[in-house]
Amino acid sequence: MALPVTQNQQSHIISGKSPQYVDGALVPEVDKHGDNPVVIRLTDEERLSGKTKPETIQEILKYYHRDGFVVLENAIDEHLVDRLYNRMVQDNAVYIQKPQMRYNQGVDTGNISQIPPLTPEWLHRDFYANPHMIRVVENILGPRPELRFINSNVAVPGGTGRQAVHSDVHHAYPEIPFGLVMNIYLQDSDESNGITEVWCGTHNCAARKDQQASLERGWIKKSYLQERAKVKRPVQPKVKKGSICFRDLRLWHAGMPNKSDHHRIMLAIDYFAQWYQCPMKTKLPLSMKETIEREWEGISTEGVEWVDGDLDSLDLNFFLNMTQDPLLYLEQTDRGFEDWRARATGQYNFDTNKVTEENYWTPE
């Protein structure tokens, strides 16, 4: 005969590593720390085997939905990370001389969008279709999420200005997760080298039309910044290299100046739900098509444009369209960032507004 179980009684525990339950719910034994944001660490066993424990997935999803931002630590081998970092620093010296290169929100930020190398040697699955990453993404967006954007954000040494607090999406969008960006840091990062300022919990804290100062660029109203900071302040967290940061595209954030003497580089990989029908495509070499579709398990390549021949990432223009409308794309050109207004008027005014105190939080 089974003994009665009280509401708060835990199951019998044989050892410290045995499952624990409270009120019928599993209490995950996951290495995590922090609260703004939460950092969850993969075990070495998980990383090396490529198998994510259900408890780890549960905790990542819990904090992703709560905060719109969560960090997965120990996700990528450090040797792979260091190798790509060194290559991209070399590439940056070439890229800043390109006529189409533009600083994000002004030269003072030292903030650059730079596409990582796209040759087969550098397209390692652990960065772009990391098995732990994809298991989380498919639990947020649904089966076979679509890879549609590969880029990086480089904060060069010597930046003095910051970005306005903004959301990456400044168009009408569903009030549920439809896309997310994985930021992968290629070096230990914190306030000293310009890690991104994040506002946990802002992915669903207010209606888009209410919070944004301009529906044309996604900057957040000063009044909303001041009020939100009373709930949860913005932070520049400490993130170890090889970590994957899951960020809801609706989340408020801002690039910050790099005060160190080394480049701060984070990859930016965007996946979208199939049902969202995003029109954006990312370019990848045709020579990798068979390998990617065979080995990058769990993803859809519907958002990939396969390019025959050599593909030099430094000659590709930055291209962005997170809307559902194929005509609302943004493209980097030698005249500036071209949006739909520039195409209609010939005036390249996107991303030319100066950041002032009205565009970020100030302690009261």
The values of phi and psi at residue 295, to 5°, are: -105, -20
What is the DSSP secondary-structure string of 247-270? EETT--EE---B-SSS-EEEEEEE
CA angle 57, 34, 155 (to 5 degrees): 90
Residue 235: the pLDDT is: 98
pLDDT tens series, the chain, 364 aa? 444 443 333 333 333 467 899 999 999 999 999 999 999 999 999 999 999 999 999 999 999 999 999 999 999 999 999 999 999 999 999 999 998 888 988 898 999 999 999 999 999 999 999 999 999 999 999 999 999 999 999 999 999 999 999 999 989 999 999 999 999 999 999 999 999 999 999 999 999 999 999 767 899 999 999 999 999 999 999 999 999 999 999 999 999 999 999 999 999 999 999 999 999 999 999 999 999 999 999 999 999 999 999 999 999 999 999 999 999 999 998 898 899 999 999 999 888 889 999 999 999 8
Give me the residue spans of the domains in the chain.
31-359
| Cβ pair 60, 136 in contact under 8 A | yes
Query: What phi and psi values does residue 14 have, to the nearest 5 degrees?
Result: -80, -40
Question: Does CATH place domain 31-359 in 2.60.120.620?
Answer: yes
Torsion over CA of 228, 230, 236 and 242, rounded to 10 degrees? -70
pTM of the model: 0.93
Task: Go through 13-30 and write b for each residue having 16 or more CB atoms within 10 A of its CB, e for each that does not.
Answer: eeeeeeeeeeeeeeebeb
The answer to whether 162 and 359 have CB atoms below 8 angstroms apart is: no
Count other Cβ atoms within 10 Å, centred on residue 82: 14
